Amino acid sequence: MSIIKVGIIGTGFSAKSHIEALRRLNGIEVAAISASTLEKAKKTAEQFAIPKFYGSVDDLIRDPEIDVIHNCTPNYLHYHINKKVLESGKHLLSEKPLAMTSEESRELVELAKSKNVVAGVCFNYRHYPLVAQAKELIQKGEYGPVHFVHGTYLQDWLLYDTDYNWRLDTKRNGKSRAIADIGSHWCDTVQYVLNKKIVEVFADLKTVHPIRKRPIGEVETFKSKGQEAFEEIQVDSEDCGSVMVHFEDGTHGVFVVSQVNAGRKNCLTFEIAAKSGTLYWNQEEPNKLWIGRRDEANIELVRDPSLLSAFPASLAHYPGGHQEGWPDGLKNLFIDFYQAVKTSPNPSSTSFATIEDGHHIMQLIEAILKSNEEKRWVKVQTGQE
Ligand code: SOE
């Protein structure tokens, strides 16, 4: 494979972020895009100078030039499109969630295995240098065994009852919203750092706005439509909540999610308390890792690839002091994923979230919803159960 040709499905916030990040990789070409209508696909293709556009997913998948497909559509389309892509034998990078149910995601895992393709899910927060560094410190036992973990994923883009987006529509989003949309990132990132799965949960979720005012017409993620014509709709999915978790080695933890916390834009944090040190990371200040100690001064590691063992200069595009942000995390994910594509069928790189990881997150979300409904601890199904 000389130049790897990529097809993008979708035209929203995530599709645009994928296109931008892919454009920063060597040897990769964004060769085609598809959307629900030919007009939409054409408009985005022109905007981003993408050579080919299609008004149907099937046409894009059939294009023999395309090696890899990124699924950037709304959630309810993920399973059907992922299935078609895998059946075609092309490599797949899907936006999360992988599917609407864990039954569907299990089927996708089996299909990917039978086709021997590289299949990943876009859990991008693993791919910051200081998250990798936190993982290395924990895995090497630098601060001893982990006692307790806590954290947050807070946003405010759904604060008002006039804020609306397809994610509020259960049919298009799935039953869980704040947990599936952002809580899933917290779980994936922390499980990655600890290298341990969450096996049991106790959740307490809340819908702050059971009735919202939906503007007439489509509203993109993170955009607000202001005071236009609207209709009242019932919302069943959670705006916020807390979840206590147990990891497979018995470590206890808790995280909170909210999409209605004024002033919090994309506040994903984790704090891992180990025997002799506590590691704290915040996505809104991603180039620092705080290390708290009791008997010595606290430390703040700053992102400097010449000093970080887990994300050395060879992997980093920018030297220390040249700040990295959200688009870079996505780009780092793609570097890792495409390394696997280049070395497929025996991929040499596996720090991206695989289709199996995506399936586990589906099982985890279902356990969280069940726990909230039944107000009790619920075990997370694991593996191919
Ligand atoms: C909206 O909450 C959103 O775009 C999520 O869907 C993404 O996964 C997250 O990275 C940023 O916020």
Residue 194 · residue 138 · CB < 8 Å:
yes
The whole model's pTM is what?
Answer: 0.95
Peptide bond into 312 cis (omega under 30): no
- Chain centre to alpha carbon of residue 140: 26
Residues 6+ apart with CB under 8 A from 107: 83, 99
**Ligand 1 centroid, distance to 182 Cα (angstroms):** 6
- φ, ψ at 240 (rounded to 5°): -160, 175
Q: In this structure, which residue's CA is closest to atom 9 in ligand 1? A: 182
Kindly state the average pLDDT of the residues 11-40. Answer: 97
At residue 286, the pLDDT reads 96
Report yes or no: 289 and 280 within 8 Å, Cβ to Cβ: yes
Mutate which of 179, 181, 224, 333 for ligand 1? The one with the most ligand atoms within 8 Å of its CB, which is: 181
Q: What is the pLDDT of residues 21-30, one digit of tens each?
A: 999 999 999 9
Provide the pLDDT for residue 271: 98
Rounded-to-integer distance, Cα 253 and Cα 271, Å: 10
3-class SS of residue 74: coil
pLDDT value, residue 312:
77
CA atoms within 13 A on the CB side of 169: 15
Residue 385: pLDDT band with limits 50, 70, 90: low
Per residue in 312-364, pLDDT tens?
777 777 888 888 899 999 999 999 999 999 999 888 868 999 999 999 999 99
Q: Is the CB of 182 under 6 A from ligand 1?
A: yes
d(CA 81, CA 61): 9
Lowest mean pLDDT among 13-22, 54-63, 116-125, 228-237: 228-237
Task: Lay out the sheet containing 353-354: strands in order across.
Answer: 52-54, 28-34, 4-9, 68-71, 91-94, 119-121, 353-354
What is the average pLDDT across 155-181? 96
Mean pLDDT to the nearest integer, 271-287: 97
User: CA separation (Å) from 54 to 50, 59, 77?
Assistant: 11, 6, 17
Within its chain, how far is the Cα of 217 from the centroid?
A: 27
Residue range 280-284: average pLDDT? Answer: 97
* Whether the CB of 155 sits within 6 Å of ligand 1: yes
Percent of the chain at pLDDT > 70 equals 96
* Confidence at residue 313, expressed as pLDDT on a 0 to 100 scale: 76
Extract the tokens encoding 3. Answer: 């130049």
Cα separation of 97 and 75, whole Å?
A: 7
Task: Compute the distance between CA of residue 228 and CA of residue 166 in angstroms, rounded to an integer.
Answer: 17
Residue 347, preceding peptide bond in cis (omega within 30° of 0) = no
Q: Is 266 in the pocket of ligand 1 (CB under 6 A)?
A: yes
Give me the pLDDT at residue 350, please: 82
Share of the chain above pLDDT 90, in %: 87
Give residue-wise pLDDT tens across range 40-55. Answer: 999 999 999 999 999 9
pLDDT of residue 2: 87
* For ligand 1, atom 4: residue with the closest CA: 221
Q: Which of 95, 98, 182 to mutate to test the pocket of ligand 1 (most atoms within 8 A of CB)?
A: 182
**Choice among 7-16, 252-261, 303-312 with the minimum mean pLDDT:** 303-312
How close is the Cα of 124 to the center of ligand 1, in Å? 10
Q: Range with the lowest mean pLDDT among 80-94, 176-190, 195-209, 304-318?
A: 304-318
Give the C-alpha separation, 47 to 53, whole Å.
12
CA of 176 to the centre of ligand 1 (A): 14
Q: Which of 6, 122, 25 is nearest to 317 (CA)?
A: 25
Ligand 1 atom showing the smallest separation from residue 157 Cα: 2
| Interior/surface letters 302-333, b for 16+ CB within 10 angstroms, e for the rest | ebbbeebebbeeeebeeebeeebebebbbbbb
Phi, psi (rounded to 5 degrees) for 263: 95, -20
| Token duo for residue 29 | 């070409």
Average pLDDT, the chain: 94
CA distance 65 to 32: 9
Q: Given a cut of 60, is residue 227 above it in pLDDT? A: no
Centre of ligand 1 from the C-alpha of residue 65, in Å? 30
